[in-house]
Amino acid sequence: MKSYQSRETIEKAYDLAKAAYAAFGVSTDKVIKAALDIPVSIQCWQGDDVTGFEGAAGLSGGGILATGNYPGRARSGDELRSDAEFAFSLIPGKKRFSLHMLYAEPETPVSRDALEPEHFRKWMNWSKKKKIPLDFNPSFFSHPLADSGYTLASADPKIRSFWIRHAVASRKIAAAFGANQGSPSVNNVWIADGSKDLPADRSSPRQRLKDALDEILAVELDSKTITDTVESKLFGIGSESYVVGSYDFYLAYAASKQIKLCLDTGHFHPTENIADKISSTLLFVPGLLIHFSRGIRWDSDHVAIYSDELRDVCREIARQKCFNRIDIALDYFDASINRIAAWAIGTRSLRKGILEALLEPAKLLTDAEKAGKNHERLALMEEFKTLPFSAVWDKLCLNAEVPAGADWLEKVEEYEKTVLVKRR
Ligand code: RNT
Ligand code: ZN
């Protein structure tokens, strides 16, 4: 694909855009800096279809599904790290990398309830060297002890205590990441526990989940090294009728424990937009983790795009000036397209959403509102939508030394030819 723009044309277009935004009191130079400074946590599992390094053939159970068989899936830690590094070179702004327990690299197999920070040594060394902080997730799926569909909420004390030990091990590993990188590692608990058909007893599993979480969180760790979050869900494959860890459950739980709540954009009714939840939840929980995903008809985990919902959520965070209370992450896994492009598309789109949100002259909107001029509020919202945003985006890419426009596609093609197809 031929590039349609040069450094010079980007600079020219930017000068005009800068003046357009300045007319509304916005300094694009400052906003570009701020937008690049907000960390986005990229999910490692897009690189290998949530397979992990335990020798599994692929993702199993958990009510989630990676479909497609595009060539080039990363099969080891080294492949996953080098793919990620390449993807990072296409993505502007501060990045973090989110791992799952499945991605441990012990020399000989270690049970998931006995894993330790040592088993993530390669990841920690890489993180330090590349200055990419790590986030973490315990893995309650793709495991024989998850086959019943119940883990932390299991009625079998042996199964439940295995997963409690697993969750505690995960928190300790996250805390070790945090100490290694000098910023808290976000440790997100998501379990798939639930029922395909109508349960007769909706209460006991929730009581057991609450007790299990209490036990897991009772292990005290330094909050400078770990941020605990819990992720709710509406339904999954095989848990259509009932999910133990529902939104109500975790909202109340996070508020009662004063821990952060994770909102995944795919975990609500298909047309429900999570933007409106931010101002309410932030009154009661210390902060949020947002998983940007894209459900199509169901929680299908398609690649995040620059969608109305993504833009609404970013705008809402910017208007409330609460980026400091929200950990921003991506959560999708598409095995049907080039996985590195998938990383780049989702992360670039999210960074666009952040930039656009910060560029909004929000004060003019609240001023109009306070003055009772609601026509002006609406008119300005509409005008701001068509300000010359793309020129500022290209300049952001230029400043971050990553390809602007669609120029990154060429590099992906090259990497596919020289690295990915050889993995067949
Ligand atoms: C599943 C949850 C969860 C997972 C990852 C792999 O529906 O969204 O966050 O996608 O942990
Ligand atoms: Zn999620």
Region 180-192 average pLDDT: 98
Q: What is the DSSP string of 310-378?
A: HHHHHHHHHHTT-GGGEEEEE----SSS-HHHHHHHHHHHHHHHHHHHHHS-HHHHHHHHHTT-HHHHH
Note the pLDDT tens digit of each residue in 408-420: 999 999 999 999 9
228 lines ligand 1 (CB under 6 A): no
Ligand 1 centroid distance, CA of 362 (Å) = 33
Give the span between the Cα atoms of 200 and 188, in whole angstroms: 29
- 380, part of any domain: no
Residue 168 in tokens: 């505690």
Tell me, what CATH number does 195's domain have?
3.20.20.150
On the question of pLDDT at 343 being above 70, the answer is yes
- 17, part of any domain: no
- 179, part of any domain: yes
Note the pLDDT tens digit of each residue in 128-146: 999 999 999 999 999 999 9
Task: Say what the pLDDT of residue 424 is.
Answer: 80
* Cβ proximity of 236 and 261 under 8 Å: no
Task: Say what the pLDDT of residue 166 is.
Answer: 99
* Cβ proximity of 116 and 173 under 8 Å: yes
CB under 8 Å to 296, separation ≥6 — which residues?
302
Radius of gyration of the chain (CA): 22
On the question of pLDDT at 2 being above 80, the answer is no
186 lines ligand 1 (CB under 6 A): no
For residue 137, the ligand 1 atom closest to its alpha carbon is 11
Q: Which ligand is nearest to the CA of 263?
A: 2
- 19, part of any domain: no
- 391, part of any domain: no
pLDDT band at 287 (very low <50, low <70, confident <90, very high): very high
Average pLDDT, the chain: 97
- The domain total for the chain is 1
pLDDT band at 401 (very low <50, low <70, confident <90, very high): very high
Give the span between the Cα atoms of 231 and 63, in whole angstroms: 14
291 lines ligand 1 (CB under 6 A): yes
- 26, part of any domain: no
**Which residue, by CA, sits nearest to atom 10 of ligand 1?**
331
pLDDT band at 4 (very low <50, low <70, confident <90, very high): confident
For residue 331, the ligand 1 atom closest to its alpha carbon is 10
Residue range of the domain that includes 313: 37-359
Note the pLDDT tens digit of each residue in 246-280: 999 999 999 999 999 999 999 999 999 999 999 99
Region 189-205 average pLDDT: 98
* Cβ proximity of 227 and 209 under 8 Å: no
- 140, part of any domain: yes
Ligand 2 centroid distance, CA of 192 (Å) = 11
Task: Say what the pLDDT of residue 8 is.
Answer: 96
Task: Say what the pLDDT of residue 3 is.
Answer: 80
46 lines ligand 1 (CB under 6 A): no
Provide the β-strand partners of residue 135.
98
Give the span between the Cα atoms of 402 and 348, in whole angstroms: 11
Ligand 2 centroid distance, CA of 298 (Å) = 13
**Which residue, by CA, sits nearest to atom 3 of ligand 1?**
190
Task: Say what the pLDDT of residue 1 is.
Answer: 65
Sheet holding 288-292, edge to edge: 134-135, 95-98, 40-43, 326-330, 288-292, 260-264, 226-231, 185-189
Region 42-65 average pLDDT: 97
On the question of pLDDT at 79 being above 90, the answer is yes
Region 382-387 average pLDDT: 97
Helix, strand or coil, per DSSP, at residue 187: strand
Alpha-carbon distances, residue 394 vs 19, 39, 164, 332, 397 (angstroms): 16, 19, 47, 25, 5
Residue 109 in tokens: 């197999």
Give the span between the Cα atoms of 293 and 334, in whole angstroms: 11
- 373, part of any domain: no
pLDDT band at 334 (very low <50, low <70, confident <90, very high): very high
48 lines ligand 1 (CB under 6 A): no
Ligand 2 centroid distance, CA of 363 (Å) = 33
| Positions marked active-site | 190, 231, 233, 264, 267, 291, 299, 301, 331
Give the span between the Cα atoms of 64 and 302, in whole angstroms: 12
294 lines ligand 1 (CB under 6 A): no
CB under 8 Å to 225, separation ≥6 — which residues?
174, 175, 176, 177, 178, 179, 184, 185
Give the span between the Cα atoms of 216 and 182, in whole angstroms: 23
Task: Say what the pLDDT of residue 350 is.
Answer: 99
Pocket test for ligand 1, best of 191, 239, 291 (most atoms within 8 A of CB): 291
135 lines ligand 1 (CB under 6 A): no
